[in-house]
Amino acid sequence: METKRKFEIDMCHGPLLGKILLFSLPLMASGVLQLLFNAADMVVVGRWGNSDALAAVGSTGSLINLLVNVFLGLSVGTNVLTARYFGSKQDKELSDMVHTAILTAAICGVFLIFVGFFIAPFALTWMGAPTEVLSKSVLYIRIYFAAMPAMMLYNFGAAILRAVGDTRRPLVYLFISGVVNVILNLIFVIGFHMSVAGVGLATAISQVVSAYLVLRCLLKSDAAYGLKINKLRINAHKMTAMLKIGLPAGLQGALFAISNVLIQASINSFGTVAIAGNSAAANLEGFVYMAMNTLYQTAISFVGQNYGNNYFKRIKRTAVLCLIIVSIVGIVFGNIMYFLSPVLLRAYVNKEDVAADMAIAYGVRRLLFVCCPYFLCGVMDTLVGCIRGMGRSVLPMIVSLTGACVFRIIWIHTIFAQNRSLDVLYVSYPISWFLTSLVHAICFVIVFSLEKKRFGQNEA
């Protein structure tokens, strides 16, 4: 019992700040580690390949997110419901939720193999991927999607562990799989000269390793959230509840990805060197995003557990603390990333490539407009996490759709169409984050008041 409990965090009692940090710091390290190992793909293929290979891998990111985000959104529903049942000690409901979620993850993963294989060539062509990198991009996506069942199982399994306060073991699992990824990158790309195919294969194998480790953890657990093969079945009630919360979250992620696909298509029109510089910069800003996104996940778990017990004072304190922390993280990390960008971006390019300096210049420019005000994106996401933790998922989806996605699409077809420059394209990001954050803040106050009135308030 002691071994089982030492990984859990009681989010419903005791001081909040220390527990939020205890929960979020390993989660932050996990996100940064994941990005570091993903960056290894870009660095290896960029330094031991060329700008075409770097562009081929980098230009697939927005499309991958578009195809995957709907399904990964279901893991948000898993997180919210697992936290709620765990916090209110409903063991039977918790067990049903876990087994429904894991089976759903496996089914979604198998489906995504076929989606990625057949849709990739058409989608990349529609995005205007340069012909010199198209075949490599298609190859990378097809190899990447072959490991989709593993990716889904890891993300759903990690969501279950996070919901009960365990962010340390997923960190260890990511570290192990990431080391595997880096080693295989070096072997396949440098040793076997497999270029884009080697990077994709290394990533796919590392996904399988992380999935194995998280499933092994759940299978060995004797807690209520432990996994038993003979109990794997879809519980209709739990599936409905998971879809109610997770599907809007997934659709929101997909809609954001659609706007990013349009932006990527606009960037593609500036040529291969611009794509390479943008891809490297986007990879760097991912570190800041992952650090901030941990507060979104923290808010979901803490609000979810306390919502299950009607501890609304703790929900309010959780929201305030998470917003303060995410603002600090975003401002500090975002500006550090920008000021170090000329040095950091150099790691992504082959110094013998004649276009290296130009690619770096493109990357630095993107980071100026995106990373310096990036804390606004963190505030926006954290407010969404607070609202979702109370079981409301459609409302933030609608707000995000209107405030960010629709806004960016209109921006591309109006302001950018009249002033075709990357600066004009990039500035749409911070403006959309600011506007959407304001509306989410109003929505949180309204939802909090309604839920408190509906259930009353218990004392922790």
For the chain, the domains span 8-455
Q: How far is CA 332 from the centre of its chain?
A: 20
Residue owning tokens 């073991």: 169
Tell me what pLDDT residue 3 has: 44
The pLDDT-based confidence of 217 (bands split at 50, 70, 90) is: very high
Read off the pLDDT of each residue in 35-49 and give the average, rounded to a whole number.
Answer: 69
3-class DSSP state of 221: coil
The pLDDT-based confidence of 347 (bands split at 50, 70, 90) is: confident
* Cα separation, 23 vs 40, whole angstroms: 26
3-class DSSP state of 271: coil
pLDDT tens per residue across span 396-414 = 989 988 887 888 888 988 9
The pLDDT-based confidence of 372 (bands split at 50, 70, 90) is: very high
Higher model confidence: residue 139 or residue 447? Answer: 447
Q: How far is CA 227 from CA 126, 142, 223, 409, 453, in A?
A: 42, 30, 9, 43, 37
The pLDDT-based confidence of 2 (bands split at 50, 70, 90) is: very low
- Residue 218, token pair as written in the block: 């759940």
Q: pTM for the full model?
A: 0.77
Q: How far is CA 275 from CA 130, 201, 267, 366, in A?
A: 10, 23, 6, 11
pLDDT tens per residue across span 417-451 = 898 888 898 899 899 999 999 999 999 999 999 99
pLDDT tens per residue across span 219-271 = 999 899 999 999 999 999 999 999 998 888 887 777 776 777 777 778 877 87
Tell me what pLDDT residue 46 has: 67
Helix residue spans in 186-271 (DSSP H): 195-220, 236-268
Q: How far is CA 403 from CA 7, 151, 153, 260, 459, in A?
A: 38, 30, 32, 14, 36
Read off the pLDDT of each residue in 180-206 and give the average, rounded to a whole number.
Answer: 86
The pLDDT-based confidence of 351 (bands split at 50, 70, 90) is: low
